[in-house]
C-alpha cells in the first residue's frame, strides 16, 4: 500500500496546489492507495476556506491539528502564543459555518496496519511537539505500542526518530528515498506543506510504501511570492509572510 502524508498546509493554496500537481505527476507512475492530511489545514496562511474546500473536494483523510482543535474548543487556544490565538480568531471569521463544523469534527488519530497517525505526539496529542519527547518517552512508546510506524507533523520539520543500539537517534532526512529497517520502530515527522521551517522553503510531504517500507521525502517549489502578498493583503502579521522566505 502506498500512502502520501501531507501535514501543516496552513491555508497556503499555492503550496497545496503545487503538491497536488506533484502528486498527480507521480500517480502517472505509481498508484497511491490513500492520502492522509496530518492536521493544520488552517492557521497562519491567507486562504483557509479555499484550502478546506480543496482538501474536501479531493476526498483526503484528514486529522485535527492544534489549529482545528482551537476552532472546535476555544479552551485549546491556551496552548497557543498570543499571535497564534489572534490568528485563530481571524481564521474562524474566514470560514463558513459548514467548514467550521468540518474542522471541529475531525478525528485526532488514524490507524491502519502497523501505522498510527496523529498531528502532534503519539499516541494522541495534537499540541505536543516531537522535540519535547525525551529519549525515555520514545523508548517507552515503542515498548508499549503495537504500532511500528508513527506519522506526525506539527513541528514543520522533517525528522526520523528511531531506537538504535539502545539509544534514540534523530535524523533529518534529505529529499529522496529512504528504506526503513523492518526490525526498528520509527516516528516520522512529515514536515510541512505550507510553512516549512527547516531552512528549505519548498513544500514538503512524504510517500510511504508499506510493502517495501520505503519512505520518499518530496520537496516541491511553489509560488511563495503570491502567498506572501496574500498574507500581507489579508492584514495578517508580516512574520507569517517572512517565515515562508
Give the domain ranges of the chain. 2-242
Quickly tell me which residue has 511563495 as its cell.
Answer: 224
Q: Can you say how many angstroms the Cα of residue 25 is from the centroid of all Cα atoms in its chain? A: 21
* β partners of residue 206: 5, 217
Task: Write out pLDDT tens, residues 70-97.
Answer: 999 999 999 999 999 999 999 999 999 9
Of the candidate CATH numbers 3.60.21.10, 1.20.200.10, 3.40.50.2300, 1.10.3720.10, the domain formed by 2-242 belongs to 3.60.21.10
76 close to 88: Cβ distance less than 8 angstroms: no
pLDDT surpasses 60 at 29 = no
187 close to 140: Cβ distance less than 8 angstroms: no
195 close to 44: Cβ distance less than 8 angstroms: yes
Averaged over 113-131, what is the pLDDT? 97
Task: Write out pLDDT tens, residues 190-221.
Answer: 999 999 988 899 999 999 999 999 999 999 99
Amino acid at each position: 500500500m502506498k500512502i502520501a502524508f501531507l501535514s501543516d498546509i496552513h491555508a497556503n493554496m499555492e503550496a497545496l496546489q503545487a503538491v497536488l500537481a506533484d502528486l498527480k505527476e507521480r500517480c502517472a507512475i505509481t498508484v497511491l492507495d490513500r492520502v492522509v492530511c496530518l492536521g493544520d489545514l488552517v492557521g497562519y496562511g491567507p486562504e483557509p476556506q479555499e484550502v478546506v474546500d480543496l482538501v474536501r473536494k479531493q476526498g483526503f483523510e484528514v486529522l485535527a491539528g492544534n489549529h482545528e482543535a482551537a476552532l472546535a474548543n476555544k479552551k485549546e487556544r491556551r496552548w497557543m502564543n498570543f499571535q497564534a490565538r489572534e490568528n485563530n480568531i481571524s481564521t474562524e471569521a474566514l470560514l463558513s459555518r459548514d467548514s467550521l463544523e468540518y474542522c471541529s469534527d475531525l478525528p485526532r488519530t488514524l490507524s491502519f496496519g502497523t501505522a498510527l497517525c496523529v498531528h502532534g505526539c503519539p499516541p494522541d496529542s495534537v499540541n505536543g511537539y516531537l522535540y519535547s519527547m525525551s529519549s525515555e518517552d520514545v523508548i517507552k512508546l515503542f515498548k508499549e505500542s503495537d504500532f511500528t510506524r508513527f506519522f506526525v507533523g506539527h513541528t514543520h520539520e522533517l525528522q526520523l526518530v528511531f531506537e538504535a543500539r539502545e539509544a534514540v537517534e534523530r535524523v533529518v532526512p534529505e529529499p529522496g528515498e529512504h528504506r526503513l529497517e523492518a526490525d526498528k520502530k520509527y516516528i516520522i515527522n512529515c514536515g510541512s506543506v505550507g510553512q516549512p521551517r527547516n531552512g528549505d522553503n519548498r513544500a514538503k510531504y512524504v510517500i510511504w510504501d508499506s510493502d517495501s517500507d520505503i519512505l520518499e521525502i518530496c520537496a516541491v517549489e511553489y509560488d511563495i511570492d503570491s502567498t506572501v502578498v496574500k498574507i500581507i493583503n489579508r492584514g495578517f502579521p508580516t512574520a507569517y509572510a517572512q517565515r515562508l522566505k
